[in-house]
Structure 1
Amino acid sequence: MTDALKRLSEEGVAIWLDDLSRKRITSGDLGELLDQQHVVGVTTNPAIFQKAISQGDGYESQLADLATRKVTVEEAVRMITTADVRDAADVLRPVYDATDGRDGRVSIEVDPRLAHHTEATVAEAKQLAWLVERPNTLIKIPATRAGLPAITETIALGISVNVTLIFSLERYREVMDAYLTGLEQAKAKGLDLSTIHSVASFFVSRVDTEIDKRLAELGGEAEQLRGKAAVANARLAYQAFEEVTASDRWAALAKAGANEQRPLWASTGVKDPSYPDTLYVTELVAPGTVNTMPEATLKATEDHGQITGNTIAGTYEQARADLDALAAAGISYDDVVRVLEEEGVEKFESAWTALLDSTQAELERLAGGED
């Protein structure tokens, strides 16, 4: 175990891996990450599965069986992805048990094509929870307008949720409200709130990518604001989290056994090579958070990450000033987060379509080209 990752964990940051493949599970690599690099959770998304399955390692036998059965490509993809999540959940089960369900979790996302359909999202969440059938699963639901009531309804059913694709502070507050409302409904039904968990995945690097592009178009002094927006945005999200967990509404739920919906820093791989490759790790250290990292970011943090303690406390005034400076320069925050949400859904839909297409091609090849 490395000192940097150990220190990060000791500061109250749960380290999750933003990647999964069958080879990573069967080779023992995932288990090694748990044992040696302080990883205590896994997140997936359609792009991750598309990459894993398209590379083919470990999927041939199952694909051949599915081709023989002549299943639809949608069923094939669900059988493959839920199998991986189920097996990963089993690897992580000791962490889940040791942390009373707080960590040791694996996330799987609803079909991104349902992002703007509330009831279909809830139905898909129920189906995924049933298919995986592991208590340490989180069902990922995007924080679209239609996703908010789906989050409430899913939580009210007692299903743990990872809310994904959060970019704006306003939407994040709506996500927290949706979670609390779901808990209140679950409590009214007599459900055990202590068994329900949630994280809210607040995306980081994409904010800088979009705003930096706009700053470059403005040119001049505006470019001095590059690389500040994403960290400032995330720090203010943590301020919002602190405000909600200090409320009387939360206190009543906590008394009934509810778990906090931890902020999860997602999209933490640095896109601009001119920035430190650990930027979205070292600058977002605070207790009660999760940082899900692609493997490259995990290794960079292990190798040269400087963990100096809580780097969010005492930063709210500066963070607000940074966002205000962007507004003064002509950057519309509301437009940025709208574009990012729309693009986020589109990217996951595209990855899902690519996954379906590549899987269909494999099924046809293994079936000998039969219809």
Structure 2
Amino acid sequence: MAQNENLAALSAAGVSVWLDDLSRDRIQSGNLADLVATRGVVGVTTNPSIFQAALSVGHAYDAQVKALAAEGADADAAIRTITTDDVRAACDVLAPVFESTGGTDGRVSIEVDPRFAFDADKTVAQAIELWKIVDRKNLFIKIPATEAGLPAITSVIGEGISVNVTLIFSVPRYRAVMGAYLDGLRNAKIGGHDLAKIHSVASFFVSRVDTEIDKRLDKIGTPEALALRGKAGVANARLAYAEYQDVFDGGAHTSTYNHLASQGANRQRPLWASTGVKNPDYSDTLYVTELVGPNTVNTLPEKTLEAFADHGEVRGDTLSGRAVEAAQVFADLEAAGVDLDEVFVQLEREGVDKFEASWGELIEATTAELRTAAAEDN
């Protein structure tokens, strides 16, 4: 089957196209394999909200839930089994991509329990547990970039486990994430792990930044403020990419990475997450077209993937050399009265809360399904 031209052009520009969704129906129907074949999809990301949506629709999980109920599994055990089974199956679908890209792509991500977002020890323990349960080389363990998450990232990388760092909203936190990754690589080397087999991406959230800042700009209401709507998310990501280049791509602080690279280490690629456009006034491919650059990943909801396949444009590298322009957007936002530090603290808190809420709904729904299945057997 032929690849879509627009998405093929995006891949050729250095962007790895990942799908931000997973369900058993998608795997068993062959849809995921079709997206790899026709849409250039070379990775998959999941989160608690995605799994909550998948388990609440249809009947794909009914037989497994019934079997788990017969075994006396509680909701946590059932969710762990169901989600790791789906991720393992998706890893198998993407295994050829993993092999053909030398481990760079063909990755599937699974997130640690969001209730552990502020507990480094529990995060590390579950990351190791999930790595062993899924038992696939092309797995990524997702760890949130909270203050507690930073040492957990270092510890998990140090164990030789590949990590997708999630819920990054600010450039200062992104710098800390890159540092945690490099520290983890040093520990992994000391521990005798092959650095070439350790990969990582840093998931920098985009649309949520615009959603929150646009609300504040609307409230301020001045012409200067209103003119800045829809600019913060892209500017933030472009500043992050400049930091990536500084650390991993020949910048002033690349010497640390170069030393590790000489021992086989891989760069930690920036991943643009939350790229579905929420404001209908903006182009539905805004966070794809404006974030094109070498060695990046864009994880797309299916709606955005199909929109880009239909009418997306690749206008060359829209990331490199844009830091000064992006910094001016931030200066203008602050001059208009937006407290950016407050915005990023709020977004991280809300991000964790959203995933915790989805996890709670997943536990409640699974508990109810287990009870129903157990009652039907009696």
Rounded Cα–Cα distance in structure 1 between residues aligned with 2:320 and 2:65: 50
- Counterpart residue number, 1:332: 339
**Fraction of identical pairs, as percent:** 57
- Counterpart residue number, 2:243: 240
Equivalent position SS for 2:56 = helix
Rounded Cα–Cα distance in structure 2 between residues aligned with 1:275 and 1:107: 29
Q: Which amino acid aligns with 1:347?
A: K
CA contact (8 A) 1:285 1:312 kept: yes
- Residues 280-314 of structure 1 show CA distances to partners (whole Å, capped at 9, x for unaligned) of 00000000000000000000000000111111122
User: Following superposition of structure 1 onto structure 2, how do residues 24-35 of structure 1 map, counting pairs within 5 Å?
Assistant: 24-35=26-37
CA contact (8 A) 1:149 1:178 kept: yes
Equivalent position SS for 2:375 = coil
Q: Which amino acid aligns with 1:48?
A: I
Rounded Cα–Cα distance in structure 1 between residues aligned with 2:120 and 2:195: 23
Cα displacement (A) at 1:230? 0.2
Q: Which amino acid aligns with 2:5?
A: D
CA contact (8 A) 1:364 1:370 kept: no
CA contact (8 A) 2:241 2:320 kept: no
**1:308 equivalenced with 2:315 (yes/no):** yes
Rounded Cα–Cα distance in structure 2 between residues aligned with 1:108 and 1:313: 30
Rounded Cα–Cα distance in structure 2 between residues aligned with 1:306 and 1:195: 34
- Counterpart residue number, 2:145: 143
CA contact (8 A) 1:137 1:160 kept: yes
Rounded Cα–Cα distance in structure 2 between residues aligned with 1:335 and 1:357: 33
- TM-score scaled to structure 1, two decimals? 0.99
**4+ residue runs over 6 A deviation:** none
- Residues 64-86 of structure 1 show CA distances to partners (whole Å, capped at 9, x for unaligned) of 10011111110000000000000
- Counterpart residue number, 2:73: 71
Cα displacement (A) at 1:56? 3.3
Q: Which amino acid aligns with 1:335?
A: E
Rounded Cα–Cα distance in structure 1 between residues aligned with 2:122 and 2:373: 32
Equivalent position SS for 1:190 = coil
Cα displacement (A) at 1:57? 3.5
- Counterpart residue number, 1:49: 51
Rounded Cα–Cα distance in structure 1 between residues aligned with 2:195 and 2:218: 48
- Residues 46-95 of structure 1 show CA distances to partners (whole Å, capped at 9, x for unaligned) of 00000000113310110010011111110000000000000000000000
Rounded Cα–Cα distance in structure 1 between residues aligned with 2:229 and 2:114: 31
Q: Which amino acid aligns with 2:244?
A: F
Q: Which amino acid aligns with 1:314?
A: G
User: Following superposition of structure 1 onto structure 2, how do residues 39-188 of structure 1 map, counting pairs within 5 Å?
Assistant: 39-188=41-190
Name stretches of at least 5 consecutive residues in structure 1 with no aligned partner. Answer: none
Aligned with residue 231 of structure 2, among 205, 208, 228: 228
Rounded Cα–Cα distance in structure 1 between residues aligned with 2:321 and 2:197: 33
Rounded Cα–Cα distance in structure 2 between residues aligned with 1:61 and 1:93: 26
Rounded Cα–Cα distance in structure 2 between residues aligned with 1:52 and 1:306: 31
- Residues 296-338 of structure 1 show CA distances to partners (whole Å, capped at 9, x for unaligned) of 0000000000111111122111100001100001101100000
Rounded Cα–Cα distance in structure 2 between residues aligned with 1:365 and 1:340: 37
Rounded Cα–Cα distance in structure 1 between residues aligned with 2:185 and 2:290: 31
Indicate the larger mover: 348-357 or 56-65: 56-65
CA contact (8 A) 1:212 1:227 kept: yes
Indicate the larger mover: 256-265 or 48-57: 48-57
Rounded Cα–Cα distance in structure 2 between residues aligned with 1:163 and 1:313: 22
Rounded Cα–Cα distance in structure 1 between residues aligned with 2:77 and 2:44: 23
Aligned with residue 306 of structure 2, among 287, 299, 306: 299
- TM-score scaled to structure 2, two decimals? 0.97
Q: Which amino acid aligns with 2:292?
A: V
Indicate the larger mover: 246-255 or 259-268: 246-255
- Counterpart residue number, 1:275: 282
Cα displacement (A) at 1:228? 0.4
- Counterpart residue number, 1:254: 261
Rounded Cα–Cα distance in structure 2 between residues aligned with 1:306 and 1:25: 29
Cα displacement (A) at 1:369? 7.0
Cα displacement (A) at 1:97? 0.5
Corresponding pairs, count: 371
Equivalent position SS for 1:14 = strand
CA contact (8 A) 2:168 2:202 kept: yes
